[in-house]
Structure 1
Amino acid sequence: MQVHIDALGAEGHGLARLPDGAALFVAGALPGEDVTVLPTGDGRARVETIIHPSADRVAPVCDLFGECGGCSVQYMSLPLSLRWKTDTVLRALHAAGHADPVPVTSWQGAPMTRRRVDLTFAREGQAIALGLHRKRGAVVDMTQCHVLEPALFALLPPLRQMLHSLPAVRRGGDLQINMLDSGPDLLLATDGPLGPDDRRLLAQFAGTHRIPRISWRPHGSHDTPETAAQTAGVWHEFCGVRTAPPPGAFLQPSRAGEDAIRQAVLDALPTKRIKGDIIELYAGCGTLSFALAERARVMAYEGDWAAFACLKQACGGTRVQAFHNDLNRQPVMGTVLAKAGAVVLDPPHAGAGAQLQQIIDGRPLRVIYVSCNPTALRRDAAALLQAGYRLEHVTVIDQFLWSTEVESVCLFTRPPPPRRR
């Protein structure tokens, strides 16, 4: 069947219209292309032949494209990717009811700048495969990567050798790497217990490759990690303030992407003196907190205990005060939020949950919402609209190159109450 691709869907698939008006999503197709497809059911199809390719179709830069579970749209030019992600965010906001045109700023990162990665590994014969899963498949050994920082990618070959020698690795496990200012920080999960020989090998590896800390926990568990080897102090700076992140701490994927989000949040604050404190929700280890503190006093709330402890320890001598609240079970109340000069929130993928209702009840004049999920943003933006908030500005952040992930910073305001005579 031959179809013409009109647009891109939310998952990056080409969107075509069948003669009866039904939508057909074609994996691997781009807008403007004429393609022959093989329907796979449920309104989906795959490309068989590209009759007229788009000018935005490019050759994938990685030989593992199509196998590795990471970069899913490397056939799409980066300028088209940014336009598509911007449209995805704007469509979500339009679906929420924010139909008036607003100023939009878009930012895109560069290849080979990603500083954190979650990998999986498995024994395959006499070797270790270390990389990402195929979709619903085995581990694809990451022999090349065009998104990771070169220093991070350079760790993978010696890591394979070390993991192969570990008695704690029976069949496989997971590995998270954060490239902190102090150096690589590793969180290892294995399917076997960690014994004295494992600790000795990890300590040797950490010393040889200048890794300040290697932490460990059983594979599949959410236990608090234990330190398996440490050769130096672990630290990371946010706006000149030194913190001590816990194992597996959340970092923005790239330094430049973190700077772009931080600047978009600061630009959304009032240009004049802020009347009242800034209340920051889901503060993490302080990614935004210390930058916000340059503009006003910050009341920073975080639910994860390890992240809160990191933030609390770094607050001395700053205008940041840290609080430990599970914001889904113990949200900051509207009576507190009502006094804020601005509310800044960077919620998890599922959105703001119970905390959003307290924001609506408190009716602060300015809400700055950092989103990593357009679907959750649509739901929360609709609730803010119904409560009288207006969308003033949107910044779209693309730091997950060649993927369907997109982040945004949205400024919502509401008019101040009329003055009493």
Structure 2
Amino acid sequence: MSQTSQIIRIAARGDGVTADGQHVTHGVPGDVLRADGTLEQGPHHVEPPCVHFGKCGGCQLQHADEEALRQFVTERVTFQAEKHDITIGELLPTHLSPTKSRRRATLHALRTAKGAVLGFREGNSHQIVDLEECHILRTELTELLQPLRQFVARYGRERPVDTELTLVDQGVDCSIKHLELEGLEATEAAVEFAQTNGLARLTLDQGYGPETQWEPQPVTITLSGRPVGMPPGSFLQATQDGEDALVADAKAWIGDTASVADLFSGLGTFAFALANPAKILAAEASRDAHLACKAAGAGLPMAAMHRDLFRNPLQPEELNRFEAVLLDPPRAGAKEQIGQIAASSVNRVVYISCNPVSWARDCTKLVEAGFRLEKLRPVGQFRWSTHVELASYWTRG
């Protein structure tokens, strides 16, 4: 092995990769793999800020500086485009969310002989890392770690408990699954926990679906200045700055378009940003999200449609009524819907994606139909994670 086996990039799972293809744990571009297998740290290798790094599965890249992190996020997107022979018109600057900006997270907890542990799981393991600190979550969420730990220590059992925390307009929305409370005392303690910690809502799922225990005011999330009802478990962009970046690109690309079909619209993250002057169709499969979007859209030039776009995608004759289409599907992508878009007469498409792999696979159909990738922006909302997102703008004609 040469002493000059330099790390040139970070692979999809976070390992450093040398010029000759060797994978090195915790390697970043500029590091050098020595002949004895040790790693000589280069200028882009930094000291991880969190005491849990290397064990906690929440972060994989805290040892990479800002430049190396930006390179990773960018290359995760551009590599998939190149792999599928997609020509990038303009590669826009990569957006990275700052530290302590995550406004939603799912944590795991387990009662133990000494109390309880609470945190993310270890990488490739079901073991829970008991968080002492966290450098990715908003402060409003980390302030709840110890109170939650104490609550699980008192009422938890032998099975793991899942806790979803989301920062909403009224504070923190807390949803706890697999925590079975028996008796009036335990139920009253749950309400007291919510009151004492100023929760916006406390929802318990004891195996029969989510049941709200505490919600002094209807929980909302403000999207483009419009408060929207937030059903338990609803999807929300991971960070406010990430949402702002994606919405800004969508508005710039849609421009003065008169009519837009917003597919996989969720609560209306993009629909409310684009509505007025544009007329919007917001199509969503989740009934709760659809109804919340519909209620909040009263008075706007917007129609909400409850439709499963995987099983029943909009057909070309339906899409032809719109000047542009925006879609933001789940990680699996939108293979069937993209096929219908390609077969339609629509010439402007904004595709937001949380998975570069399914995005590139889908977009080969757009290329075959004559679309060009005009603009592409990689987005790293999940800081120090290997999870990467993007915004893309396609045109034809």
**TM bracket (short chain):** over 0.9
Q: 2:305 and 2:182 mapped to 1: Cα distance?
A: 35
Q: Report the counterpart of residue 148 of structure 1 in structure 2.
A: 137
- Structure 1: which amino acid aligns with 2:115? A
Residues 328-343 of structure 1: pairs in structure 2 closer than 5 A: 328-343=310-325
* Structure 2 residue 64 is matched with structure 1 residue 76: yes
Query: Would you say the 8 A contact 2:174–2:202 is kept in 1?
Result: yes
When the two structures are superposed, what TM-score results if normalisation uses the length of structure 2?
0.94
TM-score normalised according to structure 1 size: 0.89
- Gap change, CA 1:37 and 1:230, over 3 Å in 2: farther
- 1:126-148 CA distance string (max 9 Å, x none): 21101011121410011100111
What code does the residue aligned with 1:231 have?
P
For the pair 1:158 / 2:143, whether they are aligned, the reply is no
The equivalent residue for 1:300 is 282
Which residue does the alignment assign to 1:265? 250
Cα RMSD of the aligned pairs, angstroms, is 1.8
Within 5 Å, give how 1:250-399 maps onto structure 2.
Answer: 250-270=235-255, 273-275=256-258, 277-399=259-381
Counting only pairs closer than 5 Å after superposition, residues 17-416 of structure 1 correspond to structure 2 as 17-18=19-20, 23-36=21-34, 48-51=37-40, 53-135=41-123, 136-166=125-155, 169-192=157-180, 195-218=183-206, 224-270=209-255, 273-275=256-258, 277-415=259-397
Amino acid at match of 1:324: H
Q: How far off is 1:125 after superposition?
A: 1.2
Which residue does the alignment assign to 1:7? 9
1:334-354 deviations in Å (ceiling 9; x for gaps): 111122111000010010132
| Deviation sequence 1:346-392 (CA, Å, 0-9, x none) | 01001013211111111311000001111111101211101110000
- Partners in 2 of 1:66 and 1:287 — Cα distance? 34
Aligned pairs, how many?
394
Judged with a 3 Å threshold, the aligned counterparts in structure 2 of structure 1 residues 320 and 216 are, in CA distance, closer, same or farther, namely same
Task: Note the residue ranges of structure 1 that are not aligned, 5 or more in a row.
Answer: 39-47, 416-421
Q: For residues 195 and 347 of structure 1, what CA distance do their matches in structure 2 show?
A: 42
Which piece of structure 1 moves more, 398-407 or 366-375?
398-407
Change (3 A) 1:37 1:64: farther
Cα distance in structure 2, aligned partners of 1:289 and 1:344: 9
Tell me by how many angstroms 1:103 deviates: 3.8
Q: What amino acid does structure 2 have at the position aligned with 1:85?
A: V
Distance 2:276 2:294 in 1: 17
Q: Gaps (5+ residues) in structure 2?
A: none
Q: Cα 1:151–1:388, aligned 2, differ >3 Å: closer, same or farther?
A: same
Aligned AA for 1:97?
A: D
Distance in 1 of aligned mates of 2:307 and 2:331:
18
Moved over 6 A (4+): none
Q: Matched residues in 1 for 2:8 and 2:226: separation?
A: 49
- Aligned partner of residue 143 in structure 1, secondary structure: coil
SS at match of 2:93: strand
SS at match of 1:142: coil
